[in-house]
Structure 1
Amino acid sequence: MLDAIAEVREELHALHRSLVDNALVSWTSGNVSARVAPDLMLIKPSGVPYDELRPEDLVLCDLSGAAVAGTLRPSSDAASHGYVYRALPEVHGVVHTHSAYATAWAAHGEPIPCVLTAMADEFGGEIPVGPLAPIGGDAIGRGIVETLHGHRSPAVLMRNHGVFAIGDSPRAAVKAAVMCEDVARTVHLARQLGESVALAPQTVDALHARYRNDYGQEEA
């Protein structure tokens, strides 16, 4: 198990670097976590700059968000990540960003409407808005789970806060966060040109099914 956790540390370290590379975070904001056992996760330590972060710095926590090894304190979002893992056993990665365009939609308190085929593909509809919740406990996690219930979107805009995205792996969660920012920017730009036309529900369903079932390469 220790070897497996070491591999996840390396993967998470690279994924945190990708948040910077994709301009989704600034300074020490944001985090990625990974479920490494039914009741354990790894997450970024609180307040550590990305350019100083090392794989061994990632904090092993239980799903209440409490550190179970090491001396660094986990992210202030740890309890919320843990709540998501407890509530959604199929989730193995959670990411949080303050990316500019998506967070602007969160500040406005408005879902991003599904007006792009790329949104239908990745999110299966609009990207919903979750409630404003206090930082530090599991309230954000509760808001994530409640908001995404009944949605196909792997991303949620937590009101006045930022983006949280989930996936069956940490990489899938980061992909959702990258795509969330991409479509948030495009839909914002489209609004400067006038009214956007939402895709019909049957079109969204067909695009989402094609993307899930036919896009990409078959696994060996």
Structure 2
Amino acid sequence: MAGTLDGYPQHVREQVARTRELVARLHAELPRWGLVVWTAGNVSQRVVVDAAGPSGRDLLVIKPSGVTYDELTPESMVVCDLDGVLVDGGRAPSSDTAAHAYVYRNMPEVGGVVHTHSTYATAWAARAEPVPCVLTMMADEFGGDIPIGPFALIGDDSIGRGIVETLRGSRSPAVLMRNHGPFTIGPDAKAAVKAAVMVEEVARTVHVSRQLGEPLRIEQDHVDSLYARYQNVYGQGEGAPAQEKEHA
């Protein structure tokens, strides 16, 4: 049953409405980039409440469970608290909501979370093998290998715990959960979607490279240099914010 936002002040309700529009729009990017099939996958974004609501805690906006991508609208997005409990919306939240909520509770710097079952990244997850940092694009975006997270079952916050344990202190915004698939994080949902796109791109490229022979790792000092430049210098003269940077 739908909850209600009536107890929240007007500025929070307006922020939720904007976030619903954003999250609905970003979900369209997942099939566009070939990262999902049918109803699989999800995007969420944190709504910062600043102690202005009934619980004084942040909220999250995520897609409802079992709805195809061409049926998603801003109005169909659901709002949950950071325990994954429905606050507002006419449908049940995504089955991955508990994982997203755990990440937000335990990584306050994270504003967006994405999960897909994109083919190449999930193939690496099925092998429980990190994607090695053999591309400058990987050094730029991930600061090293894309790590493997532990096996965990859907239904509680076990996946979320695995994401946090793997990514806390890591430069990578992506983890390949073993036998499951990629989860990505970012300061907002758009950045997390970009990370999901880039995970699939590098997973595919490194897989193709391995068909030709063993790819060559980039030396760690070069990885560090590339990461620092891309994250802190690249594009600044062009006025591009970090989440808009492109490889060129």
Identity percentage over the alignment? 63
Q: How far off is 1:71 after superposition?
A: 2.5
TM-score by length of 1: 0.98
Q: Give the alignment's Cα RMSD to 1 decimal.
A: 1.1
Larger Rg: 2
What stretches of structure 2 of length at least 5 have no aligned partner? 1-11, 49-56, 242-248
Q: Which amino acid aligns with 2:216?
A: V
Does residue 147 of the first structure (1) align with residue 166 of the second (2)?
Answer: yes
Aligned to 2:90: 71
Q: What is the Cα deviation at residue 19 of structure 1?
A: 0.4
Match of 1:15 in 2: 26
- Output one character per residue of 1:115-155: Cα deviation in whole Å (capped at 9) or x when no partner: 00000000000000001101011000000000112321000
Which aligned pairs between 1:5-84 and structure 2 lie closer than 5 A? Answer: 5-37=16-48, 38-84=57-103
2:239 corresponding residue in structure 1: 218
| Comparing 89-98 and 1-10, the one that deviates more | 1-10
Alignment of 1:162 with 2:173, yes or no, is: no
SS at match of 1:134: coil
Equivalent residue letter for 1:69:
D
Give unmatched runs, 5+ long, in structure 1: none
Shift of 1:159: 0.4
Residue in 1 that maps onto 2:144: 125
Q: Distance in 2 between matches of 1:211 and 1:167?
A: 16
Shift of 1:219: 5.8
TM-score, length basis structure 2: 0.87
CA distance, structure 2, for counterparts of residue 70 and residue 119 of structure 1: 38
Deviation at 1:218, TM superposition (A): 2.7
Distance in structure 2 (CA, Å) of the matches to 1:201 and 1:138: 34
1:131 maps to amino acid:
P
Amino acid at match of 1:28: T
Deviations 1:38-74 (CA, angstroms, capped at 9, x unpaired): 5210011000000111111111001111101122100
Q: Do the aligned residues in 1 keep the contact of 2:76 with 2:90 (CA within 8 Å)?
A: no
